[in-house]
Amino acid sequence: MGNGGHMMGYGYGGGWMWLIILVLVGIGVYFLLRVSKSKGSDVSNIETPLDILKKRYASGEIDTEEFERKKKDLEL
């Protein structure tokens, strides 16, 4: 026992401690990636002003002249 009495020279807990640490780190990375993906998906659901204008035109809320005028304003 020239290694201080520790199991197989791995220190406290042996190789199992490293396995547990790696599993915990893996779980942490998994949850971080999952959270970042859910935040990214919210951005794609946001309507642009042009999308809103097109919906208003399609529903008959505004006429063609007003649609074209507002569309030009948005393009500036």
51 shares its domain with 66 = yes
75 shares its domain with 51 = yes
Higher pLDDT, 14 or 6: 14
pLDDT tens profile 13-27: 667 788 888 899 999
* Host domain of residue 35: 10-45
Instruction: Please indicate, yes or no, if residue 2 is contained in any of the structural domains.
Output: no
Total number of domains constituting the chain: 2
59 shares its domain with 33 = no
Instruction: Please indicate, yes or no, if residue 36 is contained in any of the structural domains.
Output: yes
Q: What predicted TM-score, i.e. pTM, was given to this entire model?
A: 0.42
pLDDT tens profile 32-60: 988 877 665 555 678 899 999 999 999 99
Residue-level pLDDT at 4: 52
40 shares its domain with 14 = yes
40 touches 61 (CB < 8 A): no
40 shares its domain with 60 = no
